[in-house]
Chain A
């Protein structure tokens, strides 16, 4: 079994057999302290850790090759403690899954049962089982992080948000207002980092935290650079940068902090979408805020209505106490421009 896990992860790597041996040694050494039912999960986790630390060492060696000093010798006792913590966190995380989830996951990952066989047993389809496995893995990642960091999620919104982020399901993330929650909940903001890093970084999306005046310039410069990859003329680039500038200013003025996400779109047409989001007090009267000349800080009152005029599409959602989200899009012009 252990051999299968290791092979599944490293293939025919020359050190595969060494890894299997090491895993078994560790599992045997620890077997006395493990509850009977937990031996299998423990073995999986150990195998994963062994494999992961091999990659980590290999990676570190590669990165440090150019250095004269050999920094690759890990601090042995410390590493072991860390690994021990990781293992118990994984055991806790597995224990938090439902019996059925855990069984399906283990049968698939450990025993190597394919999804079709599992589907027959459960009386469903292979696709449904695969989807369920994905959800289980997403939950497992979240529970593992919570156990490892020893964090109790402060609100009941936290878990659904983290799981949605972990699964990479954008529709679900919108349903649970994930981005909004991360602005409001510090533990989740911290925990979500490894979950978000896991998803491959797309180079057509930019996320710019906005906490002060300098970020207004940073955000509009970044948005302009990203937009310049499409066929926008100079005037359109300036329009986009100006609109970003206006919505960022609102974040700094009214919420103190938030974020701007700039994303290139391919469908239905090529364009750029800007989402400016904050967890601030919200706008009491959105209609009025969109009126020309309505300003609460002695400005021109052209921020939001101006940004709306500059972009092709503009939507604003604001909820008292839960902040404001402005979504605006500019489409690439097909004929001129």
Chain B
């Protein structure tokens, strides 16, 4: 992003984009990540987006909001977003904070996330997701 080791990598795999966060991000870095990712979704006409947040030290209200916003913008561009890799302690904190990822589906890890996207791509109207959530896409 701005010199030094990449904070985030965005890789294209077929019709999906896989964005991995590599370190703790501050607010402006999150915003830049949001812009970069949304831009690439449009550029590659992606159908699915996976955001791997395992390396984020915390997901506070701003990070949660940014993730939701990315998913919403991706949805408007015709892509589905799955957030993967939320560590248990971060999940615990998010629940205590009283926030979540709203209707953005989540999966345990990258593999699960890809499966979720693939399932959706084959079955046009999935009635359930592996996590038991009720995605309303």
Contacts and interface: CB of A to CB of B under 8 A. Distances in A.
A42 to B, nearest CB: 54
A328 B90 CA distance: 20
Contact of A241 (B27, B58, B61, B65): B58
B90 to A, nearest CB: 6
A242 B99 CA distance: 12
B134 interface: no
Interface band, chain B:
20 to 34
Nearest to B88: A235
Interface string B69-90: 0000000000000000001111
B93 interface: yes
A141 interface: no
Contact of B98 (A216, A239, A302): A302
Contacts of A143: none
Contacts of A303: 61
A300 B96 CA distance: 14
B27 A213 contact: yes
A302 B61 contact: yes
A247 to B, nearest CB: 10
Interface stretch (A167-175, A266-274, A304-312, A318-326): A304-312
A238 interface: yes
A299 B62 contact: yes
B39 interface: no
B6 interface: no
Interface stretch (A7-15, A82-90, A102-110, A217-225): A217-225
Contacts of B99: 300, 302, 306
B114 interface: no
Contacts of B65: 299-300
B61 A246 contact: yes
B97 A238 contact: no
B23 to A, nearest CB: 9
A249 interface: yes
15 contacts: A216-B26, A235-B93, A238-B87, A238-B93, A239-B93, A242-B59, A245-B58, A246-B60, A246-B61, A249-B60, A300-B64, A301-B61, A302-B98, A305-B98, A306-B60
Interface of A: 213-214, 216-217, 220-221, 224, 233-235, 237-239, 241-242, 245-246, 249, 252, 292, 299-303, 305-306, 309-310
6 shortest A-B CB distances, which residue pairs?
A306-B97, A302-B61, A213-B26, A238-B89, A235-B89, A245-B60
Given A238-B93, A245-B62, 7 more contacts: A217-B24, A220-B24, A221-B24, A235-B93, A239-B92, A242-B58, A302-B61
